[in-house]
Amino acid sequence: MKTKSIILGLFIIAAPFVTKAQTCDAFFPYKKGMVIEQQSFSPKNKITSSVKQTVKEITNTSQGLKVDLASEYFDEKGKLAGSSNMVITCKNGTISVDMRNYLDAKSKESFSGANVTIEGKPLELPFNMAPGMDLPEGSLIMKMAMGDSPIAMNLNMRIFDRKVEGIESVTTPSGTYSCYKLSQKIEMKMMFTVSAKSIEFYSKEFGLVRSESYDSKGKLTGYTVLSKIN
């Protein structure tokens, strides 16, 4: 598994939230059957992958509102590379995102035959965020073992130093949006440590519309944009 391939923008939260609930009214996909498409590019603007997500179900639970998403991942040629299901929850004005959503298709495919256990702290996105606000960190600890092998491979991932930097206008193939700009640091350990940084742009009406990934020296390694909403 190529460790750096794990570090991608968040492939979630990209559509209007259509409900009368007062605490879950932004940054959150809600309409059942909605299809969200995003494309990822290299620093030289060459497409590297894409993802298509479908909102399968919306459920009110004791833990808050739950949205089930089905994701399909495609390579640079548009060939299906994998699929997965994920859950996003909203409670008391805060979205909680499972950190497994930060694993890209190639990474998920590489340990598809392994025995995997995952635990961690979800990434949170409050609706009342404002420029200058610090956001809580998220973490993921994943243990992988092939078959009956007693040898396990551990992956530790941490997203921290999260801050709302300001508000900017962002244009993607799907439109132009007024967005909150979030910065955060990423640290991942698996045999060796990889450090990186990402910038994410969130619209209150349409959620994440752009994310940018940088290496430890501040060099752009790729970016992802919201390309279509159906």
DSSP conformation letters of 89-130: EEETTEEEE-GGGGS-HHHHHHTTTEEEEEEEE-EEEETT--
Give first-to-last CA distance, the chain, whole Å: 33
Section 173-194 average pLDDT: 94
More confidently predicted of 200 and 113:
200
The tokens of 106 are what?
């190639």
Q: What is the CATH number of the domain that holds 98?
A: 2.40.360.20
The pLDDT tens digits of the residues spanning 74-132 come to: 999 999 998 888 888 888 888 888 777 666 555 655 666 677 778 889 889 998 899 99
The residue segments making up the domain with residue 35 are 3-229
Quote the pTM value. Answer: 0.81
The tokens of 119 are what?
């635990």
The pLDDT tens digits of the residues spanning 33-59 come to: 989 999 999 999 999 999 999 999 999
Q: What pairs with residue 158 in β-bridges?
A: 139, 187
Calculate the CA 113 to chain-centre distance.
23
Q: How many domains does the chain have?
A: 1
Q: How far apart are CA 43 and CA 57, in angstroms?
A: 35
How many C-beta atoms lie closer than 10 Å to residue 228's C-beta?
15
Tell me which of 82-86, 133-137, 194-198 is least confident. 82-86
Q: Give CA separation, 212 vs 120, 182, 222, 225, in Å.
A: 24, 10, 6, 9
- Average predicted confidence (pLDDT) for the chain: 83
More confidently predicted of 6 and 154:
154
